[in-house]
């Protein structure tokens, strides 16, 4: 993955939130906690990670313990602000009823930080809007066909669906 095509887009073009919802890939360190992943790999402030990111899924399981749950290569992480209604209450982090879904929640791990991990990341609602530009400034890996589909007429010139995985940056 070192010889990837590099693609640059303008900040704020329509379709970037759609792309972040479709998913991008982030390089991280295996064994990072979810908190460390948000702060170190994504560049979110500690306060933002704690107060704004209210719904987190790791491989489709809700996460409550952002310090104990660790990532590993190939994991899928989804980040969202507070979700509305019963879904928000049921799947949100540290809610009064989150103990009732303990069977489906992501479990803490004692995994050590070691080796590279490619993490599939999806950002939703206000997290995509607020944190997305900073993430794209840092650079992400994305599939060319996802970029073309999400950005439509705003997709970078010369980018072809057959380009596969590319390094995308603002």
- pLDDT, one tens digit per residue, over 64-123 is 999 999 999 999 999 999 988 888 888 999 888 888 898 999 999 998 999 999 999 999
Any idea where the domains of the chain sit in the sequence? 5-169
User: Using 50, 70 and 90 to split pLDDT, how confident is the model at 17?
Assistant: very high
98 Cβ neighbours under 8 A, 6+ residues apart = 62, 64, 90, 92, 105
What pLDDT, on a 0 to 100 scale, did the predictor assign at position 2?
67
Q: Which of 48, 8, 7, 11 is nearest to 134 (CA)?
A: 11
What is the pTM for the complete model shown?
Answer: 0.94
pLDDT at 51: 94
Residue with tokens 């996460």: 63
């Amino acid at each position: 993955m070192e010889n990837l095509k590099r693609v640059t887009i303008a900040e704020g073009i329509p379709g970037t939130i759609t792309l972040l919802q479709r998913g991008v890939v982030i390089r991280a360190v295996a064994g990072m906690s979810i908190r460390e992943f948000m702060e170190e790999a994504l560049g979110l402030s500690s306060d933002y990670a704690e107060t704004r990111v209210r719904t987190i899924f790791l491989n489709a399981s809700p996460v409550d313990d952002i310090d104990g749950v660790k990532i590993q290569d190939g994991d899928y992480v989804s980040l969202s602000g507070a979700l509305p209604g019963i879904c928000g209450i049921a799947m949100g982090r540290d809610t009064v009823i989150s103990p009732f879904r303990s069977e489906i929640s992501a479990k803490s791990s004692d995994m050590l930080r070691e080796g590279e991990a490619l993490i599939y990341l999806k950002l939703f609602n206000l997290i995509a809007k607020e944190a997305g530009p900073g993430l794209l400034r840092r650079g992400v890996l994305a599939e060319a066909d996802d970029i073309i589909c999400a950005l439509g007429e705003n997709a970078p010139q010369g980018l072809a669906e057959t380009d596969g995985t590319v390094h995308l940056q603002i």
